[in-house]
Every structure is written in structure tokens, then in C-alpha cells.
């Protein structure tokens, strides 16, 4: 790692405080993984609350879950899985230096993200209209409306924070798309694309857990 | 091993390379960011300290006569929140860690300099929310935000305070993330893990806690805010929510947060004790292992704050047992510092006095922790002044002593100037005396049964409270002194050379103050940490 | 002023001696540890102070030493843990035949309901030598029932019961504090525990008011209409409540739980939360309809249905004002 060697193959994207591109890339990747660990802990708090209350008020959770629209949830799941695929292909495109494919795939990914948000917005409007938002106006016909309200509190909090992450993801992908279009990424330098890909997959995975937990609680208690 | 041998001369360094407010606010130099943090947290330290003085003044008499009950509640709430989240947690990592870790491992900067700057801005935004909270009348939840009091029964600025801490939390996360990646990926050639200074180990362990714990606090406070704003019912027993779940989530972060505050302090003390004993730290490997063990086990003991909260008997047994396990590595640290002095060559400089103070007060704080972890005894002393005294021994007696000691130790490196030694010793002594007078009586108050957060109290507790208040004024003087002479020394202090203490460690092999990229040439490390055996000359005691 | 400097709290319960013993043991142990470390530091600091021409001796460390000073403390710590656990176990397990006192905490007062019917605010009368079990709930936020002279403390939560118990050993008046921060007048949420010799206590009791608590509960049970579904003779639309207390209940979702104070209380406030197997969720909630004190009376009544001595407990039955001077009536919110 002598200085002369690094100067020789100096890449314009290399920041001054790194010895070489390899070090820079490893640092970026590791930073992203550490960040995702904090994200897991962030959502973990809500998942814990979910588990506790689902155990305590199982019947209410079944009732609340049945008030979810199965199709909205399912379609959104499919949309997100597709977006993960296009994101994975985008990362691949950046690694092999296909600029046009990269830009196109990132745009498609963003569109999937927007579709998800759109469907979610429709769904939210429905819940709002049906008084399924916690608070004074909450109303639910059923045996145990009080605990169904907890289900909906968790539903709004969990999907709300997830949607916030989606929104941030879409914006960041937007920036990355812009730089990709300007030709910044190629086989030598693509870790921003990889990292945003990691983030995107993470947000998808959170949904993959939210979907069954919120939409698909069965009637029968198997425990 | 190239350093610039230019003591006194105006070599180009991180301070004089650029001038102007822009060059500071847009800097990505970890050393400048450290100074930005230093300024910000000093500001918050004096705000929090001011509240503390008002609290002590109110408690001078049993009757609530200085301020209103609500005001008093706001005072201790703001004192706790400001001190914990805006001073103690960022203190050593964001100031000393930021400044020193890259230099100590032979790197030019942290792995993500821009994220480092971002973390300071996030801290400032959080700080602005905190100031807003204070200036518009404050919150009175207690720093612990216990529900349902915080969610449904108060009409103060609880959401603003929660948002402030939520935001500041992300600054802490980003600092931790930066340190972890830096220590993993940015070490100079030859700087193996077993050659890292213990200060780096300590901050690395701290970073793990910051990264894993802080997001849990963030989501917990976010849910509290949602409860207040939109009447979510997750922690509200009126709606079937469970306030104990809040406590579990809160302490899942806030117990490890104690280690965020104390571990870096331990790192500082290891450096100081080694330097002024002119010896390698005794049991280096165990010291490094101990900090990691504390960080890991620290996550398994949170419910010891809840022995009377209504958790099950068996949960309490498990958490008490685990709390004793985490006490072992802390004991190891104390024994090893003591053993480091054995057959050393000890000088009583100001930083060393702080280190002595730290070891003594941390020992007392730690040992009283044994009282609190003992289930049957905790029932009596929890939520009394015994707890207050205990954690102030750890945080103020331990952590603040280490922080100020560290500032003295590295002040020549940071500023390029020496502080006045005799004033330094005087301040250290003042702080030590003031601290003990303030907090020792509180142990007795606690065992007598005086509950914490009491605006007025039964008259038989007065004498001890008067002692405590008297101590707090001495303590306040002790804290103002260093600020005065540090400022003085920046202009009039003796110019420091590269290594005024004759200390080992990469940070002493570059100029004081260091150049922007720390080293002119990336150093290659061929020696172990604390190689005092091979150090050249012992500086003459002043 | 300096006469006003107590250094040890009153010791007035069966628990106080145990807690003090552990405390003193820890004081001595930790005191010795502290002194040992401080002396070592001082001795090293003096003996090995920097001198011209004397170099420090470089010592790497010693695994044997490290293992010793982790192992020995660990053993000591385990001992302390066990001792603390034993005391805690006592503190958490009230004897079977304890006298029960229902407690409602609210911002910022303590309300007590004796089984015999007496009701008190911020003052609690108990006899020397009797095991007393406090069954406590809160009307608003979390409070904590703390009597330093008894060395007991227990948080009091809204929406559930928590329990503390003690046996007073010395007559006198002792502090009662709220130890969990609960808002503006937290420090004003104080009272006193008056421990009386049994004879005096009997006298105090005989000045008590109306009906014993279970009987008050029974009246409520009738007037609220509970008895139309929960019949004692046969199985009605709701479960028969005779011999319910402390017995297992099979729930609709398949779980089996023991019907304790908390279950009974929850089932009144939130009938659908733990539905008994074979019954429909038709019972209305009583949350916001009855006060915590009325809830206590109902629970006490339902519990009395499982005790063969029912009717015996509340034989003292003279209508009068409560001894603490406050006229108290149950209020429907
Ligand atoms: Cu703790
Ligand atoms: Cu209270």
C-alpha cells in the first residue's frame, strides 16, 4: 500500500483519505451493512410490540387482519418483489458497465416503488374512510374493538415507517439514476449502486414480513 | 514514522490551514468536526449544569419554595435529557474519539468524512429542538418518558423533546457506524487488532452499542410521539396497551447507554494511566476483551431497572443474575489499572489526577451497583436518591472525570499549547472534593428512603441535602476553571511540542496540532501498543 | 438542626431486618474492597513515583492473576445474587392467609379499602403482627407504593393489579411515599402508615363504616345487573362465578389460565380479551362505567364466592364515618 502505487492507478472517484479503490469499496459496503443492522433494530422494536400484542390479543388481531384488503396487500407484495428483481439487474448492469440498461432498470425500479406507494395510498384512504385510524374517530364493529385499535395502531406505525423508507428509497434511487445517466458508474466504481440496492432489498424484506403478519393471520390458533 | 520536528514554528496544521467560518462549517476534517462537537457539547453541559444547580438550590430546604412544582419537574427532566443525550453520550466519542481514532490507527480521516459532518449537523438540529423545548417551557416527563404519564397526562412539550432525542440519536448512530468501519478498514499497515490502543477498543465497543441500541430508542420515542399526536394505543393501558413494554424498550437502549457513556471514559483512563506510569497497560488482552464483553452483556441486563415495576419473579431473577455477570469485566478493568501502576514510574500530572479520581469514583459507583442488582435490596433503594448517587458516581464521577482528564491529556495535541499545570491540578482537586460532597450524602438519603424527583421532602432529610447542595457549588467552580484556563492557554499557553508527555501512540508521532491529513506519510506500525519500554526520554517533571 | 440527622431508617417490618442485614454485609464487603483498592493505588503512587534514573519495569500481565480476579469476584457476586434473590422471593410471595387491603392510587393520593369496609385516604392503619397484602391498581399513571420503614416498594399500574405484602413489627407512624414519578404533585403524593397494637387496631376497626367490601361488591353485582347472566345456582349466559378465584379457566382460544385478581379485573373491564370457552362475547365492557374502587369491590365479592368463610369476614358492620375523617361514598363516574 505504498503511496506511489495508488497514485499510479488513481481513479477520479477515489477519495483522498483512502489508500485505494478496494479499501474505499470495502468501507462503503461495510458501512451499508452496519446501517442495515441499525434499521433491523429500528423495525425490531415494532415487531416486538407486534409479537407481544398478537400473543395477548390474538382474537382481536385475527379480526383486524380480516379487515385488511387481501388483494391490495398481495399485489403490493408482487410489485415489490418485481422491483427487487429490477434492482438486482440494475446492480448487475452497473458492474458490467451497461449504462443504458442501468438507467432503464433504475427507472423501472422507481416506477414499481411509486406503484407500491400509490396502492398503499389508496389502501390508507380506505382505512381512513372506514374509521380504522386509531384515535377518537376509531370505530370497529366487533367483539373487542379496543384491542383491534391496537392492531391498527401497529398497522399504521409499521406500514407507515415502511412507506417512509420506500419514499426515501425512491428519492435516493432518483439521484443514483441521475448520476448513472451522467455515466459516473462503471466496472471500476459502482458501490453507490450496490449500496442503494442493498437498501432497497432490505426495505422489500421488511414488507415480506409485514405482509403475512398484517394481512394473513389465520382464523385457527395453532399454538 | 515521519513527523514534523517543528515545535513552535508555524507549520501548516489543521487549525491554520484555512480560516473563516465557512472552512469550519463545511469541513470534513475529523479534527475540526471534533472541535465543533466540543463547542456544542460544552454549551449543553453548562445548560444541563445550570439546571442541576437550580435543582440543588430548590432542595436546600424541605419545602418547595424556590420554584413551582411543575418548574422543578421540568428542571430535572431537562437536566437529564440535556446531560444524557446532548453531553454524556457524544462527549468522549464525538470529541476525543473523533479527533483521535483516525490518528491513533494511522488513518488520514474517518472512513466517511462527510457522514461525520452530517452527524454533527444532525446533532445540532436535535439540539435546536431541545433548545426549542427548553425555551418554550420544557417537558416534565422525567428523562425516562414513562408512559402513560408522558403520553396522556401532560400538556408540555413532550413531542418536541422526543423529536430532539430521536434526531440526536441518529447523530450517535452515524458516529458509531463511522467508527466501526474506520477501525475495521482504515488501520495503517502493521496496526493489527492486538496493537490497537485501548482507547480505540473502548470506542469500538461503544460504537457497537450505539449502532444496535439507539434505533430501538428512536422507534420507542417515535411511538410515544405517535401516541401523543394521533392517540395510538401501543403503550396506553386505557386502550389495552402495556406500559411495561415501553419500559422494556426504553431500558433496552438506556441500560447499554450507560456503557456508551462509561466505556470511552475507560479507554481514556487506560491511555492516561499507561502514559504516566510509563508502562504497558497490565493485561492488555483482558482489557480489550473486557470492553467487548461489557458491550455485549450490557444488552442482556436492562430489566434490572424494573424489579419493582411489575415484571415476573423469574424474569427478575434472570436479570439480576446477568447484571452480576456484567459486573465482572468492570472489576477486571479496575484491577488492571491498579496493577498497571505497580512498579511504574508515576508522575502526578493533571490528567493522572483525573485518572486517579476516575478509578476511585468509578469503583464506588460500580460497587454500589452491586447493591442495586441485589433483588431484595433493590426493592428498597430503587427510585430513591441511592440510585441518583450511584449513577452520578458512574457518569459524573466516572465519565466526566475521564472526559476532562482526556481533554487535559490531549490538549497539547488538539491546541498545540500547554494548559497551566498548577491550575489544572487545583481544578482536578476541586472537582473531586465537590463531587463527593455533592453525591456521597445522597447514598445515605437514599437508604433513609428519600425518593428521587421530589420537589419537597420530609424535614429529617434536610441536613444531608444541604451538604449536597454545598458540594454542588464547589463542583460548579471546579467545572468552570478548566474552561477558563483552556481558553487562556490557546493564546498564552506554552507552545507544546510533538510529544510533551513522552507518550507512546501514533497520535504523539505527528505534529501538535496535527496536519490536515494527520501524517505526511502513512505510518507503518512495527511495535506493540504502549511500548514505554522502548520510549526515548522521560520528560522532566514540571 | 443537627438533631435532625437520622443515619438509619426505622425498622418496622418483618422484611426490614433481612434487607438491612444484606445491606450491612454489602457495606462491609464493598467498603473493604474500596479501601483495599484505594490503599493499593496510594501505595503504588507513592512508592513508584517518578525518580531520576529509575525506569518503570515493563510487565505484560498475568493470566493467572486475571483469572483470579475475575473468578473470585464472580463467586462473591453469585453469593450476593442468591442472598438478594432469597429476600426478593419473600417479598414477592405473600402468605396465603394475609389480610387483604385494596389500594387505588391516583394523581396524587392513595385510597385504601379494607375488607371490613373501612376506607382511608393517604393514611393506612394496620395492626402489628398481621400479614397484610396490598392489592393495588392505579386510576391514571404509574405510581409506586413505598414504605421505607418496611423496606418495600411496588409500582402501581393502571389497568392491572400488583401486589405487595408486609408484616408490621413495631407500632408507630411511618412515611408512605409515591416512588414513581407521576406528575406535578409527585412529591405531595405522600401519606403515613399507622401501625397499631392489635387491640387498638380492633378498636379502630369497630369505628368503621357501612358494609364489608365483598358485601358492597355484592350490592354492585346486583345493581349493575351482573347477576342476570352470572348466576350462582345454575349456568347462565355468562360463566358461573362460584369457586372461580384461583381456579383454572379454559379460554376460547385454547389457553388455560388461573383466575387471579388480574384476570377477574380484566374480564370486567374488557370481557372480550380473555373469553371463556363456550361463551359468546356478549358481555358489555365496564371500563369507564365503574370506578377502580367499585372494581375492587366487585373483585373482592367474586373472590369471596370461593371462600367457605364468606359472610364471616365482614361481621363488623356499623355505619359511621371513616376514621380518617373523610366522608367517602362510591361514585359512579
Ligand atoms: Cu442499568
Ligand atoms: Cu404517584
3-state DSSP assignment of residue C206: helix
Q: Give dist(CA B38, CA A16) in Å, integer.
A: 25
Is B430:B478 a contact under the CB 8 Å cutoff?
yes
What residues have CB less than 8 Å from B143, skipping those under 6 apart? Answer: B77, B79, B80, B81, B84
Ligand 2 center to C162 CA (angstroms): 15
C251 and C197 share a domain? no
3-state DSSP assignment of residue B4: coil
Ligand 1 center to B70 CA (angstroms): 27
**Pairing, β C99-106 against β C131-138:** parallel
Is B374:B320 a contact under the CB 8 Å cutoff?
yes
**Pairing, β C123-127 against β C152-156:** unpaired
3-state DSSP assignment of residue A119: helix
Would you say residue B487 has pLDDT above 60? yes
Q: C 58-97 residues with CB below 8 A of A?
A: none
Most confident region among B232-236, C228-232, C271-275 by mean pLDDT: B232-236
Predicted confidence band at C315 (pLDDT cuts at 50, 70, 90)? Answer: very low
Mean pLDDT of A115-128: 94
Other Cβ atoms within 10 Å of B55 Cβ, number: 20
- In degrees rounded to 5, what are phi and psi of residue C135? -105, 110
Q: Give dist(CA A104, CA A90) in Å, integer.
A: 8
Q: Say if C316 falls within a structural domain.
A: no
Q: Say if C12 falls within a structural domain.
A: no
User: How far, rounded to the nearest angstrom, does the alpha carbon of residue B132 sit from its chain's CA centroid?
Assistant: 24
Would you say residue B1 has pLDDT above 80? no
Q: Of all residues in chain A, what percent carry a pLDDT higher than 70?
A: 93
Q: Give dist(CA B326, CA B309) in Å, integer.
A: 22
Q: Say if C8 falls within a structural domain.
A: no
Residue B320 has its nearest CB partner, among C22, C58, C81, at C81
Are A150 and B230 an interchain contact pair (Cβ–Cβ within 8 Å)? Answer: no
Ligand 1 center to A85 CA (angstroms): 45
- In degrees rounded to 5, what are phi and psi of residue B482? -60, -35
Element (H, E) at C172: strand C172-178
- In degrees rounded to 5, what are phi and psi of residue B185? -110, -15
Counting ligands in written order, the one closest to the CA of C144 is: 2
Is B86:B41 a contact under the CB 8 Å cutoff?
yes
Would you say residue B122 has pLDDT above 80? yes
C179 and C234 share a domain? no
A201-215, B523-537, C308-322: least confidently modelled range: C308-322
Are C148 and B283 an interchain contact pair (Cβ–Cβ within 8 Å)? Answer: no
Walk me through the domains of chain A, giving residue ranges and CATH numbers: 22-222 (1.20.120.80)
- pLDDT for res A178: 95
C194 and C248 share a domain? no
Residue of B189, B209, B241, B311 to mutate when probing chain A, most A C-beta within 10 A: B241
Are B216 and A31 an interchain contact pair (Cβ–Cβ within 8 Å)? Answer: no
Angle between helices B69-83 and B113-135 (to 10 degrees): 170
Predicted confidence band at C247 (pLDDT cuts at 50, 70, 90)? Answer: confident
Are B237 and C58 an interchain contact pair (Cβ–Cβ within 8 Å)? Answer: no
Walk me through the domains of chain B, giving residue ranges and CATH numbers: 28-509 (1.20.210.10)
Q: Say if C312 falls within a structural domain.
A: no
Neighbours of chain A (3+ CB pairs under 8 A): B, C
C126 and C157 share a domain? yes
Residues of A in contact with C273 (CB under 8 A): 56-57, 60, 144, 147
- pLDDT for res C291: 85
Q: Give dist(CA C299, CA C295) in Å, integer.
A: 6
Other Cβ atoms within 10 Å of B273 Cβ, number: 26
What residues have CB less than 8 Å from B484, skipping those under 6 apart? Answer: none
What CATH code is carried by the domain that includes residue C299?
Answer: 1.10.760.10
Min Cα–Cα distance to chain C from B301, Å: 14
Residues of C in contact with B239 (CB under 8 A): none
What is the radius of gyration, based on Cα positions, of chain A? 21
Would you say residue A222 has pLDDT above 60? no
Opening angle at CA A187, ends A186 and A193, nearest 5: 60
Would you say residue C330 has pLDDT above 80? no
C-alpha cell, C229: 347472566
Alpha-carbon distances of C225 from B164, B455, C231, C236, C284, rounded to whole Å:
51, 46, 11, 13, 11
Q: Give dist(CA B198, CA B336) in Å, integer.
A: 12
C-alpha cell, A54: 398478537
**What DSSP letter does each residue of C175-186 carry, written as one string?**
EEEE-S--STTG
Min Cα–Cα distance to chain B from A134, Å: 5
What is the radius of gyration, based on Cα positions, of chain C? 27
Residues of B in contact with A149 (CB under 8 A): 233, 239-240
Alpha-carbon distances of C288 from A30, B154, B274, B334, C122, rounded to whole Å:
54, 20, 65, 56, 24
Predicted confidence band at C232 (pLDDT cuts at 50, 70, 90)? Answer: confident
Q: Give dist(CA B171, CA B122) in Å, integer.
A: 5
Would you say residue B145 has pLDDT above 50? yes
Are C253 and A59 an interchain contact pair (Cβ–Cβ within 8 Å)? Answer: yes
Q: Say if C107 falls within a structural domain.
A: yes
Ligand 1 center to B367 CA (angstroms): 14
Q: Give dist(CA B245, CA B295) in Å, integer.
A: 23
Q: Say if C317 falls within a structural domain.
A: no
Predicted confidence band at C309 (pLDDT cuts at 50, 70, 90)? Answer: very low
Residue C273 has its nearest CB partner, among A147, A221, A223, at A147
Counting ligands in written order, the one closest to the CA of B258 is: 1
Most confident region among A194-203, B510-519, C40-49, C241-250 by mean pLDDT: A194-203
- pLDDT for res C210: 65
Are C45 and B356 an interchain contact pair (Cβ–Cβ within 8 Å)? Answer: yes
Alpha-carbon distances of B239 from A28, A48, B358, C69, rounded to whole Å:
45, 18, 47, 51
Residues of A in contact with C252 (CB under 8 A): 59
Name the burial class of residue B483, with classes exposed (0-12), middle (13-18) and buried (19+) by CB atoms within 10 angstroms of its CB.
middle
Q: Which of C268, C280, C274, C286 is nearest to C237 (CA)?
A: C280
C168 and C198 share a domain? yes
C145 and C173 share a domain? yes
Residues of C in contact with B329 (CB under 8 A): 70
pLDDT tens for each residue of B309-352: 999 999 999 999 999 999 999 999 999 999 999 999 999 999 99
Is B375:B320 a contact under the CB 8 Å cutoff?
yes
pLDDT tens for each residue of B377-433: 999 999 999 999 999 999 999 999 999 999 999 999 999 999 999 999 999 999 999
SS (H, E, C) C188-203: HCCEEEEEECHHHHHH
Give me the numbers of helices (H) and strands (E) for chain A, helices first please.
Answer: 7, 0
Counting ligands in written order, the one closest to the CA of C157 is: 2
Would you say residue C324 has pLDDT above 70? no
Q: Give dist(CA C136, CA C296) in Å, integer.
A: 9
Are C1 and B313 an interchain contact pair (Cβ–Cβ within 8 Å)? Answer: no
Would you say residue C225 has pLDDT above 60? yes
C229 and C173 share a domain? no
Would you say residue C307 has pLDDT above 80? no
Give bridge partners of residue C172 from the DSSP assignment: C195
Q: Give dist(CA C85, CA A159) in Å, integer.
A: 43
- pLDDT for res B10: 65
Tell me: ipTM over 0.85: yes
Give bridge partners of residue C164 from the DSSP assignment: C134
Neighbours of chain B (3+ CB pairs under 8 A): A, C
Would you say residue B3 has pLDDT above 70? no
Would you say residue C312 has pLDDT above 50? no
Min Cα–Cα distance to chain A from B27, Å: 14
Min Cα–Cα distance to chain A from B501, Å: 29
Ligand 1 center to B388 CA (angstroms): 12
Residues of A in contact with B517 (CB under 8 A): 16-17
Give bridge partners of residue C257 from the DSSP assignment: C249
Residue C1 has its nearest CB partner, among B243, B382, B463, at B463
Min Cα–Cα distance to chain B from A48, Å: 9
Q: Give dist(CA B379, CA A61) in Å, integer.
A: 36
Residue of B182, B231, B518 to mutate when probing chain A, most A C-beta within 10 A: B231
Q: Say if C225 falls within a structural domain.
A: yes
Is any Cβ of chain A less than 8 angstroms from the Cβ of C250?
Answer: no
Is any Cβ of chain A less than 8 angstroms from the Cβ of C6?
Answer: no
What residues have CB less than 8 Å from A175, skipping those under 6 apart? Answer: none
Q: Give dist(CA C281, CA C285) in Å, integer.
A: 10
Is any Cβ of chain A less than 8 angstroms from the Cβ of C281?
Answer: yes
- pLDDT for res C308: 53
Residues of C in contact with A56 (CB under 8 A): 273
Is B94:B41 a contact under the CB 8 Å cutoff?
yes
Residue C56 has its nearest CB partner, among B359, B460, B532, at B532
**Pairing, β C131-138 against β C152-156:** unpaired
Ligand 1 center to B206 CA (angstroms): 15
- pLDDT for res C207: 74
Element (H, E) at A98: none
Ligand 2 center to B278 CA (angstroms): 54
B123, A36, B143, A159 alpha-carbon torsion, rounded to 10°: 110
- pLDDT for res A9: 55
Residue of B110, B111, B184 to mutate when probing chain A, most A C-beta within 10 A: B111
Question: Which chain B residue lies closest to A35 (C-alpha atoms)?
Answer: B177
Question: Which chain B residue lies closest to C143 (C-alpha atoms)?
Answer: B309
**What DSSP letter does each residue of A59-86 carry, written as one string?**
HHHHHHHHTS-HHHHHHHHHHHHHHHHH
Are C178 and B451 an interchain contact pair (Cβ–Cβ within 8 Å)? Answer: yes
C131 and C157 share a domain? yes
Opening angle at CA A209, ends A207 and A215, nearest 5: 85
Q: Give dist(CA B185, CA B191) in Å, integer.
A: 11
What CATH code is carried by the domain that includes residue C107?
Answer: 2.60.40.420
Mean pLDDT of C103-109: 93
Name the burial class of residue B135, with classes exposed (0-12), middle (13-18) and buried (19+) by CB atoms within 10 angstroms of its CB.
exposed
Q: Say if C190 falls within a structural domain.
A: yes
Domain boundaries, position C296? 213-307
Q: Give dist(CA B66, CA B61) in Å, integer.
A: 9
Are C272 and A59 an interchain contact pair (Cβ–Cβ within 8 Å)? Answer: yes
Is any Cβ of chain C less than 8 angstroms from the Cβ of A147?
Answer: yes
Q: Last residue of a domain, which of C205, C226, C249?
A: C205
Q: Give dist(CA C131, CA C167) in Å, integer.
A: 5
Count of residues for chain C?
333
C-alpha cell, C213: 367490601
Q: Which residue has the cell 449500496?
A: A195
Min Cα–Cα distance to chain C from B60, Å: 13
Q: Of all residues in chain C, what percent carry a pLDDT higher than 90?
A: 50
Alpha-carbon distances of B483 from A157, B40, B489, rounded to whole Å:
45, 14, 10
pTM here? 0.91
Ligand 2 center to B56 CA (angstroms): 22
Predicted confidence band at C93 (pLDDT cuts at 50, 70, 90)? Answer: very high
Is B214:B152 a contact under the CB 8 Å cutoff?
no
Residue C270 has its nearest CB partner, among A58, A146, A221, at A146
Other Cβ atoms within 10 Å of A182 Cβ, number: 10
Mean pLDDT of A99-104: 94
Is any Cβ of chain C less than 8 angstroms from the Cβ of A39?
Answer: no
Residues of B in contact with A128 (CB under 8 A): none
Domains held by chain C: number: 2
Residues of A in contact with B250 (CB under 8 A): none
Amino acid at each position: 500500500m505504498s503511496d506511489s502505487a495508488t497514485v499510479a492507478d488513481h481513479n477520479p472517484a477515489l477519495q483522498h483519505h483512502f489508500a485505494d479503490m478496494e479499501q474505499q469499496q470495502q468501507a462503503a459496503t461495510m458501512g451499508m451493512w452496519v446501517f442495515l443492522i441499525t434499521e433491523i433494530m429500528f423495525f425490531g422494536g415494532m415487531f416486538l410490540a407486534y409479537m407481544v400484542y398478537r400473543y395477548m390479543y390474538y382474537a382481536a388481531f385475527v379480526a383486524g387482519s380480516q379487515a385488511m384488503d387481501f388483494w391490495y396487500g398481495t399485489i403490493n407484495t408482487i410489485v415489490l418483489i418485481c422491483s427487487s428483481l429490477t434492482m438486482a439487474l440494475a446492480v448487475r448492469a452497473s458492474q458490467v458497465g451497461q449504462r443504458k440498461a442501468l438507467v432503464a432498470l433504475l427507472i423501472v425500479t422507481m416506477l414499481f416503488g411509486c406503484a407500491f406507494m400509490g396502492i398503499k395510498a389508496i389502501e390508507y384512504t380506505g382505512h381512513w374512510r372506514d374509521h380504522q385510524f386509531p384515535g377518537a374517530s376509531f370505530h370497529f364493529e366487533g367483539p373487542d374493538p379496543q384491542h383491534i385499535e391496537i392492531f391498527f395502531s401497529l398497522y399504521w406505525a409499521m406500514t407507515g415507517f415502511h412507506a417512509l423508507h420506500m419514499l426515501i428509497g425512491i428519492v435516493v434511487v432518483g439521484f443514483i439514476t441521475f448520476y448513472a445517466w451522467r455515466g459516473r458508474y462503471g466496472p471500476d466504481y459502482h458501490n453507490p449502486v450496490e449500496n442503494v440496492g442493498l437498501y432497497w432489498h432490505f426495505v422489500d424484506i421488511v414488507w415480506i414480513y409485514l405482509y403475512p403478519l398484517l394481512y394473513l393471520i389465520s382464523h385457527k390458533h395453532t399454538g | 514514522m515521519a513527523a514534523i520536528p517543528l515545535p513552535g514554528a508555524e507549520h501548516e496544521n489543521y487549525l491554520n490551514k484555512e480560516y473563516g467560518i465557512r472552512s469550519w462549517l463545511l469541513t470534513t476534517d475529523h479534527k475540526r468536526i471534533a472541535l465543533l462537537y466540543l463547542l456544542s457539547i460544552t454549551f449543553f453541559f453548562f445548560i444541563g449544569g445550570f439546571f442541576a444547580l437550580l435543582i440543588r438550590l430548590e432542595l436546600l430546604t424541605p419545602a418547595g419554595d424556590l420554584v413551582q412544582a411543575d418548574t422543578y419537574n421540568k428542571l430535572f427532566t431537562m437536566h437529564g435529557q440535556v446531560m444524557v443525550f446532548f453531553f454524556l453520550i457524544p462527549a468522549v466519542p464525538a470529541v476525543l474519539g473523533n479527533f483521535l481514532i483516525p490518528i491513533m490507527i494511522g488513518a488520514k480521516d474517518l472512513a466517511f468524512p462527510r457522514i461525520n459532518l452530517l452527524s454533527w449537523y444532525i446533532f445540532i438540529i436535535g439540539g435546536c429542538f431541545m433548545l426549542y423545548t427548553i425555551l418554550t417551557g420544557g417537558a416534565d416527563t422525567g428523562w425516562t418518558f414513562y408512559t402513560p404519564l408522558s403520553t396522556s397526562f401532560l400538556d408540555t412539550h413532550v413531542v418536541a423533546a422526543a423529536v430532539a432525542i430521536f434526531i440526536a440519536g441518529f447523530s450517535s448512530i452515524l458516529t458509531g457506524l463511522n467508527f466501526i468501519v474506520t477501525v475495521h478498514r482504515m488501520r495503517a499497515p502493521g496496526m493489527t487488532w492486538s496493537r490497537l490502543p485501548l482507547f480505540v477498543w473502548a470506542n469500538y465497543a461503544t460504537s457497537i452499542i450505539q449502532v444496535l441500541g439507539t434505533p430501538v430508542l428512536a422507534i420507542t420515542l417515535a411511538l410515544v410521539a405517535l401516541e401523543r399526536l394521533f392517540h395510538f394505543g401501543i403503550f396506553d393501558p386505557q386502550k389495552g396497551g402495556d406500559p411495561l413494554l415501553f419500559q422494556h424498550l426504553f431500558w433496552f437502549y438506556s441500560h447499554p447507554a450507560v456503557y456508551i457513556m462509561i466505556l470511552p471514559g475507560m479507554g481514556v483512563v487506560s491511555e492516561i494511566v499507561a502514559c504516566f506510569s510509563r508502562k504497558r497497560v497490565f493485561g492488555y488482552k483482558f482489557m480489550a476483551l473486557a470492553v467487548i464483553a461489557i458491550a455485549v452483556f450490557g444488552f442482556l441486563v436492562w430489566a434490572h431497572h424494573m424489579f419493582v415495576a411489575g415484571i415476573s419473579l423469574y424474569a427478575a431473577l434472570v436479570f439480576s443474575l446477568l447484571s452480576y455477570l456484567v459486573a465482572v469485566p468492570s472489576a477486571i478493568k479496575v484491577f488492571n489499572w491498579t496493577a498497571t501502576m505497580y512498579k511504574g514510574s508515576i508522575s502526578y500530572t493533571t490528567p493522572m489526577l483525573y485518572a486517579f479520581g476516575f478509578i476511585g469514583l468509578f469503583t464506588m459507583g460500580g460497587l454500589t451497583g452491586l447493591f442495586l442488582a441485589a433483588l431484595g435490596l433493590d426493592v428498597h433503594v430503587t427510585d430513591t436518591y441511592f440510585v441518583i448517587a450511584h449513577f452520578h458516581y458512574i457518569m459524573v464521577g466516572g465519565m466526566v472525570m475521564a472526559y476532562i482528564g482526556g481533554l487535559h491529556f490531549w490538549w497539547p495535541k488538539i491546541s498545540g499549547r500547554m494548559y497551566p499545570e498548577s491550575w489544572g491540578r487545583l481544578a482536578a482537586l476541586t472537582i473531586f472534593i465537590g463531587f463527593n460532597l455533592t453525591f456521597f450524602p445522597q447514598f445515605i438519603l437514599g437508604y433513609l428512603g428519600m425518593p428521587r424527583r421530589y420537589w419537597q421532602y420530609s424535614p429529617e432529610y434536610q441536613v444531608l441535602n444541604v451538604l449536597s447542595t454545598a458540594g454542588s457549588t464547589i463542583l460548579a467552580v471546579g467545572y468552570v476553571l478548566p474552561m477558563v484556563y483552556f481558553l487562556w492557554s490557546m493564546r498564552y499557553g506554552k507552545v507544546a511540542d510533538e510529544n510533551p508527555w513522552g507518550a507512546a501512540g501514533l497520535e504523539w508521532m505527528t505534529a501538535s496540532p496535527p496536519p490536515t491529513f494527520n501524517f505526511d506519510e502513512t505510518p507503518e506500525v512495527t511495535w506493540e501498543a504502549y511500548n514505554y519500554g522502548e520510549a526515548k526520554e522521560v520528560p522532566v517533571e514540571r | 438542626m443537627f438533631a435532625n440527622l437520622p443515619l438509619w431508617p426505622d425498622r418496622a417490618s418483618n422484611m426490614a431486618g433481612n434487607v438491612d442485614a444484606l445491606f450491612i454485609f454489602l457495606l462491609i464487603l464493598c467498603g473493604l474492597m474500596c479501601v483495599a483498592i484505594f490503599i493499593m493505588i496510594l501505595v503504588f503512587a507513592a512508592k513508584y513515583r517518578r525518580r531520576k534514573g529509575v525506569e518503570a519495569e515493563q510487565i505484560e500481565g498475568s493470566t493467572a492473576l486475571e483469572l483470579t480476579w475475575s473468578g473470585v469476584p464472580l463467586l462473591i457476586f453469585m453469593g450476593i445474587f442468591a442472598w438478594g434473590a432469597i429476600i426478593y422471593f419473600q417479598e414477592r410471595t405473600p402468605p396465603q392467609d394475609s389480610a387483604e387491603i385494596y389500594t387505588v392510587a391516583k394523581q396524587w393520593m392513595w385510597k385504601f379499602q379494607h375488607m371490613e369496609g373501612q376506607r382511608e385516604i393517604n393514611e393506612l392503619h394496620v395492626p402489628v403482627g398481621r400479614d397484610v397484602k396490598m392489592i393495588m391498581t392505579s386510576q391514571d399513571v404509574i405510581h409506586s407504593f413505598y414504605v421505607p420503614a418496611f423496606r418495600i416498594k411496588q409500582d402501581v399500574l393502571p389497568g392491572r393489579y400488583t401486589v405487595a405484602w408486609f408484616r408490621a413489627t413495631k407500632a408507630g407512624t411511618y412515611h408512605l411515599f409515591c416512588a414513581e414519578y407521576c406528575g406535578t404533585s409527585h412529591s405531595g403524593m405522600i401519606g403515613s402508615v399507622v401501625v397499631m397494637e392489635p387491640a387498638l387496631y380492633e378498636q379502630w376497626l369497630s369505628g368503621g363504616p357501612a358494609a364489608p367490601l365483598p358485601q358492597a361488591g355484592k350490592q354492585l353485582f346486583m345493581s349493575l345487573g351482573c347477576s342476570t347472566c352470572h348466576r350462582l345456582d345454575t349456568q347462565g349466559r355468562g360463566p358461573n362465578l362460584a369457586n372461580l378465584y384461583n381456579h383454572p379457566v379454559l379460554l376460547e382460544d385454547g389457553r388455560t389460565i388461573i383466575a387471579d385478581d388480574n384476570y377477574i379485573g380484566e374480564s370486567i373491564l374488557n370481557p372480550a380479551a380473555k373469553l371463556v370457552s363456550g361463551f359468546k362475547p356478549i358481555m358489555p365492557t365496564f371500563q369507564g362505567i365503574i370506578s377502580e374502587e367499585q372494581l375492587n369491590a366487585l373483585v373482592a365479592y367474586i373472590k369471596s364466592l370461593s371462600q367457605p368463610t364468606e359472610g364471616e369476614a365482614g361481621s363488623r358492620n356499623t355505619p359511621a364515618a371513616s376514621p380518617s375523617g373523610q366522608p367517602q361514598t362510591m361514585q359512579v363516574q
